[in-house]
Structure 1
Amino acid sequence: MKIGILAHKKTPENLMIFEELKKRCSVEFIDPLEVFLGYETYEFDLILSRIERDFLKEGIYVLNDISESIPVINSAETIQTCQNKYLTYLKLKKVSPKSFLTYSKDISGIIEKINGIFGYPCVVKPIYGGYGDGVLKINSETELIEVFDKKDEQSERFVQEFIPYIHDIRVFVLNNEIIGSMERIPKNSWKANYSLGAEIKEFKLSNEVEEMVLNSVKKLGAGIVGIDVLISKDKNYILESNITPQFRGMMNFVNVPEKIADYCLNYLK
């Protein structure tokens, strides 16, 4: 039995998965860029995709090719959807904060749309990205104009309703099963990313939130995914999906690499 980990970076998380799989079967890293350029061939029983955004295009091409003959976790279609915040929103619109995508440089039109849909404050973010990079909280029209007037900024932006949440939760899902959930408490920023120094603690989900998360994961078609949930006073929201979720924080509560290895090996039985 041989499993390939498709990843262009040997991140700490990827190495932990590799070491856990190595205890139980043959495993190798596969560089998607080298496969894309024709430098590698592959003979595996299963491919575990950990494609990051830096080589998303090449990774999608490789996965589409590989999946014709080898089973993969996650699929190219799922990765393409989950790596793109707007495509994720289109799948999960009913349970997500109100949002829209704009390519327009017509600031007055964007302001009119914001005022008509959700008002201020709002959030402007790139459709690709993680760790809170490029995510801005906009408190007024003046701030919005400053952001959109920057010539070095891309014109494509995802504009989203700001949710004054009580709890920001990361939920880790494997094979339609929630294996762990943790609250992220902002410390140095309004953003609750663990990478930005947020404190974490284990969090017990309500049945309602569990059902919302699992239904969302099924719509995304994800085998392994991190789901970000906002719990507010009146409503619960799915904020984003993370198809190559980092899990160093979650390791305080559950052995994620062990669970991923279990999933991969059970998949092949």
Structure 2
Amino acid sequence: YFKVNNMRLVEELDALVIRPIGRGSLEELVFRMDMLYKLERLGFYVINPAEAIEHCVDKYDILATLEDNCVPVPRTVATESVKEALKAFADLGGDVVVKPLFGSRGIGATRVVDAEIAQTVFKAITFHHGVIYLQEFVPHGYSDIRAFVVDGRVIAVMRRVSESWKTNYSQGARPAPITLDPAFEELAVKSAKAVGCKIAGVDILESPDGPKVCDVNSQPGWKGLQMVTKVNVAEEIVTFVLSELKR
């Protein structure tokens, strides 16, 4: 049985809204996902579904899934070869963002604009048996858009404004209100649907070539968002979950 703080989950709860599953070793992450899949097999209502969370935990998987569904994303290369990574560095314009394959909140993401530094970074990653994941740097004016999607609709949105290229709220970016363009709203909903998320935070960059989705968060926070919207985000989530349980 599943027990947390003396609470027997299956016996005492009807649904589980997953908050960040946390950082950890591959073994720890796999175990946490195994638990979510098991809860689903027991008939427990889990939001987001384990499969959607699994998509979003892996940066390569999520970008590949979005691209497969015709969602515009930054040009991205993932490889285990330093040689191939250096070629990709040049092909992507010599200005890239290197990210850990598993990670969130901008932690571990590094912008690299020098080939020698790139080689050092790539060698360090492979030395530790990691995957080199590099993405073209998209000029975005130190801001991006976070659209909060619940059950196929955008319930709230904000612009995140930063003093650096990282626009994560947890990295110091400040939230600002914004009215979302209908095309961006459609893109956010399409992105959430592509990865199977009922609840999602979709991050959109406004690039010179048009909007690009750089991430879909399956366990989004809304502290910053709540500061700039009149929508009660928590209430919207609870209302949605209760409506699902009544089906």
Rounded to whole Å, the distance in 2 between the matches of 1:143 and 1:114 is 11
Q: Does 1:45 align with 2:19?
A: no
User: In structure 2, which of residues 25, 28, 31 is the aligned counterpart of residue 58 of structure 1?
Assistant: 31
Tell me the residue number matched to 2:51: 77
Rounded to whole Å, the distance in 2 between the matches of 1:250 and 1:163 is 23
Q: Give how far 1:41 is off.
A: 5.5
Output one character per residue of 1:48-99: Cα deviation in whole Å (capped at 9) or x when no partner.
Answer: 2224133532221111111122222111110000111111011112411011
Q: Give how far 1:113 is off.
A: 2.6
Which moves more between the two structures, 46-55 or 140-149? 46-55
Tell me the residue number matched to 2:149: 173
SS state of the match for residue 231, structure 1?
Answer: strand
SS state of the match for residue 267, structure 1?
Answer: helix
In structure 2, what residue type is equivalent to 1:89?
A: L
User: In structure 2, which of residues 174, 178, 184 is the aligned counterpart of residue 203 of structure 1?
Assistant: 178
User: In structure 2, which of residues 214, 227, 235 is the aligned counterpart of residue 258 of structure 1?
Assistant: 235
Structure 1 consecutive aligned stretches of length 4 or more whose deviation exceeds 4 Å: 151-154
User: In structure 2, which of residues 41, 64, 85 is the aligned counterpart of residue 90 of structure 1?
Assistant: 64
Tell me the residue number matched to 1:191: 166
Tell me the residue number matched to 2:158: 182
Q: Give how far 1:194 is off.
A: 1.0
| Stretches of structure 1 lacking an aligned partner (at least 5 in a row) | 1-5, 7-29
User: In structure 2, which of residues 73, 77, 91 is the aligned counterpart of residue 100 of structure 1?
Assistant: 77
Change in CA separation of 1:147 and 1:209 when aligned onto 2, cut-off 3 Å: same
Output one character per residue of 1:126-165: Cα deviation in whole Å (capped at 9) or x when no partner.
Answer: 0111121100001121220121233775521211111001
TM-score (norm: length of structure 2): 0.86
Alpha-carbon contact 1:53-1:129 (below 8 Å) kept = no
Output one character per residue of 1:10-36: Cα deviation in whole Å (capped at 9) or x when no partner.
Answer: xxxxxxxxxxxxxxxxxxxx64xx99x
Alpha-carbon contact 1:78-1:221 (below 8 Å) kept = yes
Rounded to whole Å, the distance in 1 between the matches of 2:128 and 2:185 is 37
SS state of the match for residue 10, structure 2?
Answer: coil
In structure 1, what residue type is equivalent to 2:192?
A: V
Aligned residues: 232
User: In structure 1, which of residues 119, 134, 148 is the aligned counterpart of residue 122 of structure 2?
Assistant: 148
In structure 1, what residue type is equivalent to 2:177?
A: E
Alignment of 1:198-237 (within 5 A): 198-237=173-212
Rounded to whole Å, the distance in 1 between the matches of 2:137 and 2:178 is 22
User: In structure 1, which of residues 135, 152, 156 is the aligned counterpart of residue 109 of structure 2?
Assistant: 135
| Stretches of structure 2 lacking an aligned partner (at least 5 in a row) | none
SS state of the match for residue 166, structure 2?
Answer: coil
Rounded to whole Å, the distance in 2 between the matches of 1:149 and 1:126 is 14
Output one character per residue of 1:180-199: Cα deviation in whole Å (capped at 9) or x when no partner.
Answer: 11111112x32111111112
Rounded to whole Å, the distance in 2 between the matches of 1:157 and 1:266 is 42
Rounded to whole Å, the distance in 1 between the matches of 2:207 and 2:20 is 32
TM-score (norm: length of structure 1): 0.79
In structure 1, what residue type is equivalent to 2:17?
A: L
